Chain A
C-alpha cells in the first residue's frame, strides 16, 4: 500500500512538473502577453512624447517641418550604438529627434550614407533638454541612409529611447 502511494505520488510529481515546464515553454514561444505588449508600447509612447515636445518649435511658422507619426524605439545599453536604416529624398530637408527619459543619458546622433561614410550634419542637444538630441540633414542624393544612435558609457543603466522625424 505504502509502495503504491509512493508510485502515485512520484507519477503525480512528474506529471505536474511536465505541465509546468510545457506551460512555461508555451509562454516563451507565444512571447509577451497582449497586456505586456500594450504596457511597453505605452512606455515608448511616453518617450516619443518627450521628443514630440522638443520638436514643437520646428513644427510652427511659415517654413515649418511636417512631423511623421511613425517612429523608432528600443533600448540602448550604456556605451553601445545602434543603426537605423532610413530612406531619404533629395530636395527635402529632414530633422530627427532622439530622446531618452533620463536627463543624464548623454545621447549622440549621427548620419551615414549607404557606404557607411559619416556625413556632415547639424547635430547637438536640444536647448534645455539634455535628454533630447536633434540632427538636421539635407540629402544630396535620394537613397538609404543610416542614423547612428548612441549613449555614453558613463550612463548608469540601459536607456529606453525613441527617434522621431520631420521633413520640409
Chain B
C-alpha cells in the first residue's frame, strides 16, 4: 500500500498533465472546468441505507415513523411507474432500517406488481421472493442486499430492453424516497451535524440534468413539471452554509417539498 498526498509544489506541472488527460502520477490539483477532462457519464445514486448508516452514528433514530403506507395505483404512464418503482424500493430500505417485517413483505409484493408494466418481471421475481422470505426470517442483511440487487437488475434490464429513458426515473424515485425519509428524521430531531447529510446540491444538479436530458415524450404533463420545479428548489435548499450545515428552516422546506412530490407521484 502507498499513501497519496496532496503536494502543492508540483502543482503547475501536474495541472498540465491533468488537462491533457494523461494518467502519469496523480496531479495534485485538477481544473474541473477543463474541457479536456473526461467525466464518466454513468450516475450512481446513494441508497438510503448508505446515508442512514452515517446518521445512526450520531445516535438511534425512530425510523418506524417514516413508513407511510401509500397505495400504489398503476396507470399506463410508464414514466410514472418507473419513478414509483424507485420510490417503492427506497421504502423497502426504510422498512429494513425500521426492521418492519410486514412493511418489507408488502414492498416485495409491490415490486412484483410494478415490474410487470416495466417488462422486467422475470428478472426481479427471484429477488422479490428473496426479500419476502428474508423479511420472514428477520434476515435484514439479506433483505438489504436483495433490495439493492432488485434496483440494479431493473436498471440493467431497462438498458438492455432499450428502455434507457426510464433508468433516470427509477434512480430519481429512489433518491426522492430516501431524501423524504432522511429530511423528516432530521427535522424531527434537528442538529447541525446531522443536517450536513442533506448537503447534496451537486447530486440534485446531476439528477436534474439527467431528467432534462430525457426526451419530452417521457416527461410530459403536470407531474413532470412538478418534478423539475421541485428539483430546482431542492438544488437551492440543499446548499450548506459557512458552518457546513443546512439550517432547520431549509430542512423543514426540504421535507415538505419531497413529501409533496412523493404524494403527487403516488397520487397519479
Residue B42 lies at the interface, judged by CB distance under 8 Å to chain A: yes
Output the least CB separation between A45 and chain B (Å): 8
**Closest B residue, CB atoms, query A125:** B1
Do A83 and B30 have beta carbons less than 8 Å apart?
yes
Task: Report chain B residues within 8 Å CB of A85.
Answer: 39-40, 43, 202, 206
Residue B200 lies at the interface, judged by CB distance under 8 Å to chain A: yes
Our pick among A81, A91, A115, A143 for the contact of B199 (Cβ within 8 Å) is: A143
Interface 1/0 per residue, A97-133 and B, CB below 8 Å = 0000000000010101011111111111000000000
- Judged by DSSP, the binding face of A is strand
Task: Report chain A residues within 8 Å CB of B180.
Answer: none
Output the least CB separation between B215 and chain A (Å): 13
Choose the segment among A1-9, A20-28, A72-80 that binds chain B (4+ C-beta atoms closer than 8 Å).
Answer: A72-80
Task: Report chain B residues within 8 Å CB of A86.
Answer: 44
Output the least CB separation between B199 and chain A (Å): 5
Our pick among A89, A91, A122, A148 for the contact of B26 (Cβ within 8 Å) is: A148
Our pick among B42, B43, B145, B197 for the contact of A142 (Cβ within 8 Å) is: B197
Interface residues of A (CB under 8 A from B): 34, 37-38, 41, 66, 68-74, 79-87, 89-92, 108, 110, 112, 114-124, 141-144, 146, 148-153, 165, 167-168
Known pairs A143-B200, A168-B53. 10 more at Cβ < 8 A?
Answer: A82-B39, A82-B40, A83-B37, A83-B39, A117-B28, A120-B3, A123-B3, A141-B244, A142-B199, A144-B203
